[in-house]
Structure formats: structure tokens, C-alpha cells
Structure 1
Amino acid sequence: MATRVATPRSRALGFGIRTARKARDLGVRELARLVDVTPQELSHWESGTRVPRIDQVGLLLGALRVEPVERKRLLELAEYAREPNWLERTVPGISPRLSAFIEYERTASAIFAWEPLLIPGLLQTPDYVRTILAAAGRPREEEQLRVKVRLLRQEVLTGRDPSPYTVFLAETALRQRRGGPEVMAPQLRHIVEVAQRRNVTLRVLPDNEEFHPGLNGSFVIFDFADLPPIVFLEQYRGSAYLYDEEQVADYRAAQRVMAMLALSEQDSCALVREVIADLEA
């Protein structure tokens, strides 16, 4: 039996179908009966492990009375759902790209993140988020929306069934004085506090002359209980998802190399506290 693989677009398509179904308060069996498919097939579509034909997507959207704008988006996803990697421009507000990323965070069985320059989104305080957005020249209304979304995303670490989260930070990210001590000191205290949670592992890579693959840029690895892992790469004006087995293996290997160079959890928190003390001196 072939391995079931959900590409970024197929998973986003499935999420959109499931969201529309729930908005109409329909069960899987009920919707499957309306479009003349088996419940198992519809479940595969919603998980992204199989991709419906364009005409099948049209039937689904018609049965669910999906609005024109969302209908167009889902049909476009269906057309290119089998493409392995997803590269899209960043757009204001909660874009389809961000929606897909949030869905990956929400459904992941474990998350690994490496960040060489910034504090990762799941650890950011509101003031830190505002500082970054202000520097990027974001409109005030967009800033407020993104702060709200960022805080909602962090519930994956603090909810009833929190995701295991391993984060590697470069010492450089800790010592950046973004927003000044009044922003960075509370931000770093928040990191130490979150690191005490049983589901969170924080390790710092100290600044030195050691070369490691993480110097090439940040990345996130999402693991799932019943699907292959996906790697997320963020760039200035877009992002990319990788699910090819060999590519994912390369990023796993990079994670192992950095793990050998990173400080222990205890020493990492001690270093963060030292940076806080320097900021407040």
C-alpha cells in the first residue's frame, strides 16, 4: 500500500472543506451521502491524504453553499493540490498561507523550531510582536489582528492537550535589543517561564565560531500522528513547505547537529537570565 502523503495544498483544501462542513452543521456521513461518496473517502479528503477531482470539489462546495470568494480559493487549491511544495506571497491579514500554518501548528503531534535571529511566534509577548510589526510598517488595524492571532496560536502550548514543543534559539536572538530593555527583558522572562512547562524544551546555541547548518536560516518541523512530517521555511516575502522524505531527513540531521552544540535546558535558562540581568543593569 502506498504511503499516504498530505501536501500543503491538499491539507489546506481538506481543512477548508471540513470548516465549511462544520459551518453547515453536517456530519461526515451526511455530507458524503449528499455528494454520493463513502464517508471514508470524504475523511481522506478532509485530512488531505487524498485529493478529490475538481468536479467533486464543485459538488461539495455546492452542497455546502460556500460563498464565492472561498469557493474560488478552494477550487484553486484543488487544482494544484498535488504540488509538493507551496510558495506563496505574504498578504495582509489572515491569509490562506497563515491559515494553513496555524492549522499545522494546531494538528501537529510535536513541533521543532530553530530561530537564529528572532524569538519564535509561539514564545512572543504582545509588545515584542508590536515592535516587529511597527518596524515592518504594518497598519495599526493589521497590527492588532496579528497580535490577537499570535496569542491565539500560543494556546497549542497551554491548552488542555498541549503539543510537545522543542525550540532552539541562537544566543544572538536573545541579545538583540528589539524595542529596548523595556520590551526585551519581559520577553526573555516570558521565555524562561514558558520553558518550565513540561511540554516545552528550550535550548540555546551559544555564539561562537562553530559552524552548523542552522546558520543557513530558520526552519520548523511539524510531526503528525498519522501523516508524514512537513518542514516549513519562512522567507522575507513568502514561505515554502517541504515534505519530500529526503529533504525532511536533511533537516532532521541539521537538528541533531545543533543538538550536539546547544546548551542543556538548565544552562540555556541560566544564560537567558544572564541576558536579562545585563538588560536591566
Structure 2
Amino acid sequence: MATLVATPRSRALGFGIRAARKSRSLGVRELARLAEVSAQELSHWESGTRVPQIEQVALLLGALRLEPIERERLLELARNAREPNWLERTVPGISPAVSTYAEYERTATEMVNWEPFVVPGLLQTPGYAEAILTANRLPPGVVEQQVAVRLRKRELLTRRNPLVLKLFLGEEAFRRPIAGPAVLAEQFRWLLRAAQPRNITIRVVPAGAGYHPGLYGHFVIFDFAHLPSVVHIEHIRGSAHVYDGDHVAAYRAAADALSALALDEQESFAFIQGVITELE
């Protein structure tokens, strides 16, 4: 029997199988019948809690009739699905790495996010997101597509069982002229409005806080109801996913250190309002 696991790769494989099945308008039972496996086993594979054998994945992909590029990507994930940590290269547009991250957001119960330099995508306004994506020299059509995706993801914060977001923002995120003053002021006003529900916490880490582990860079900790936590780290041309328990614990310790240095919620709101006043 397949090993019970829940690594980033196994979950990415499951996300890919699930997305391919839905793109073909197939139900779990229907695909299971075509691939000659049980519906329960297929559900485990899609959730990432069990890893299918490479031959079983090949049968699924044959039944789904995927394009060669996507077929090879999923087969590669299946070959290494039990690896706890992995790096996936990104490409312009809505890449597999972006869709995997979106699945982590969608299925997580809580998200701890440290952003030293920019407002994260989940809370970006259209103007702010467009400025960042345009600076990355993406084609206009791709920029428009990615802005729309970011706006749709806001539903995660307002759904029936909303994602709990604990965001730590570095002071530099409010000082860097990523866009014009009007766009920045709009973005920061949106932060104040977004933080009204109890499931969203925004705290500012002052530039004068001295050394802290967050200086090594951005990270996100995803917590799930019934699966181990995953840490996400971004690089210029890729994204790393960390699953090892000791590594996750180190990032939690870093988040605790940031919490100790950050302004409290009321102080953070006052700081953000002060920045808005300066921009206006």
C-alpha cells in the first residue's frame, strides 16, 4: 500500500491531478473507474496524503489525455513525490509554481507571512499589483490576468471559514516608491480596511528594530487542518517549499522573533495612517 505522507511534492502532484480531472469535467468516481483504482485511493492521491506508484500516475494521465508538457511535469513530481523539500522553477504567466502556491492558500487554515519589502499579493490593490508586474516586464495580457487572479483570491479572507492571516510587514515596504504616491496611498488605505476582520492581523516591523532572522528574507508558513505545515520561500526565478519539521520550527521561531519586535496592531495602524498622510 502507498505510504501515508503529505510532502509539498505529493501535494503538488495531487493538486495537478485534481486540476487535470476538473479541466476534463470528470468526477472522482468517473476517473477512478477509467484508471481502474478505487475512488477513495484517488481522493488520497489528490489530497497528497498518499503517493501513487509511477505506473498508477501514468494510467491516470493516460485516462486524462494531458498535453505532453503537463504530463511530463506530473510524472516528474510522481518520481520524487516523497522528497520533503523542493524547488520549482517559475516562468512568466500563471506557472505551475504559482498554481501550487494558490492551492496552499486555498487549503490552509492559517498563514503567517513575513514581507520585508512589499505588500503581499493577497492584499495588493490593482494599481499596486500592476506596478510590480509591469516592472517585471511581463506582457500586458499577463499583467491583467495576474491582477485579476490576485483580486479573486481575496475571497479566501471572507469565505465562510476564512483563512487566518498574520502578516508582518517591514517598514521598508511603506518607504519604497514602488508606485506613485496616489497608488501607494490607495494600497495602504486598503490595508487598514482589510485588517478590520478578526482573521487578519497586520503588524509593522520598524526599520530600527536591529538584527532579526527576518533579515534573511521573505517567508510564508502555511498551516492546515489535517496536514503538516509547509514553508514557502521565493527566489528570483523559483520558489522553495520546506516541509522538514526542524526547518518549519526554525521559521516559527523567526516569526516569534518578528512578533516580539513588531509594533502592536494599534501602533501599526497609526504608523500606516501616518504614511498615508505623508503621501497625500
Q: Confirm or deny a common fold (TM above 0.5).
A: yes
Deviation digits for residues 128-155 of structure 1 (CA, Å, limit 9, x no counterpart)? 1111122222221221121112212222
For 2:242, the aligned partner's letter is L
Query: Is the Cα–Cα contact under 8 Å of residues 4 and 227 in structure 1 kept in the other structure?
Result: no
Match of 2:117 in 1: 117
State the 1:225 CA deviation: 0.6
Query: Is the Cα–Cα contact under 8 Å of residues 5 and 82 in structure 2 kept in the other structure?
Result: no
Secondary structure of 2:61's aligned partner: helix
Q: Distance in 2 between matches of 1:206 and 1:275?
A: 13
Assess, with a 3 A threshold, how the Cα gap between structure 1 residues 30 and 180 changes in structure 2: closer, same or farther.
closer
State the 1:62 CA deviation: 2.1
Match of 1:211 in 2: 211
Assess, with a 3 A threshold, how the Cα gap between structure 1 residues 131 and 224 changes in structure 2: closer, same or farther.
same
Q: Distance in 2 between matches of 1:84 and 1:23?
A: 28
Deviation digits for residues 142-185 of structure 1 (CA, Å, limit 9, x no counterpart)? 21121112212222112333211110011111122221211110
Q: Distance in 1 between matches of 2:143 and 2:278?
A: 30
Secondary structure of 2:233's aligned partner: strand
> Bigger CA drift: 245-254 or 33-42?
33-42
> Bigger CA drift: 29-38 or 144-153?
29-38
Structure-to-structure mapping, 1:1-281, within 5 angstroms:
4-280=4-280
Assess, with a 3 A threshold, how the Cα gap between structure 1 residues 20 and 90 changes in structure 2: closer, same or farther.
closer
Q: Report the RMSD for the aligned CA atoms in angstroms.
A: 1.8
Assess, with a 3 A threshold, how the Cα gap between structure 1 residues 235 and 68 changes in structure 2: closer, same or farther.
closer
State the 1:69 CA deviation: 3.4
**So what's the TM-score if we normalise by structure 2?**
0.93
Q: Distance in 1 between matches of 2:279 and 2:159?
A: 31
> Bigger CA drift: 60-69 or 163-172?
60-69
State the 1:258 CA deviation: 1.0
Q: Distance in 1 between matches of 2:33 and 2:183?
A: 55
Q: Which runs of 4+ in 1 moved over 4 A?
A: none
Q: Distance in 2 between matches of 1:22 and 1:88?
A: 23
Assess, with a 3 A threshold, how the Cα gap between structure 1 residues 217 and 19 changes in structure 2: closer, same or farther.
same
For 1:121, the aligned partner's letter is G
Secondary structure of 1:273's aligned partner: helix
Secondary structure of 1:87's aligned partner: strand
State the 1:19 CA deviation: 2.3
Structure 2 residues without counterparts, runs of 5 or longer = none
Secondary structure of 1:159's aligned partner: coil
Q: State, as a whole percentage, how many aligned pairs show the same letter.
A: 60
Aligned pair count reads 279
Deviation digits for residues 171-230 of structure 1 (CA, Å, limit 9, x no counterpart)? 111122221211110010000010112210111111214211111101000001110000
Q: Distance in 1 between matches of 2:31 and 2:193?
A: 45
Q: Distance in 2 between matches of 1:31 and 1:127?
A: 42
**So what's the TM-score if we normalise by structure 1?**
0.93
State the 1:30 CA deviation: 3.9
Q: Distance in 2 between matches of 1:7 and 1:91?
A: 23
Query: Is the Cα–Cα contact under 8 Å of residues 8 and 100 in structure 1 kept in the other structure?
Result: no
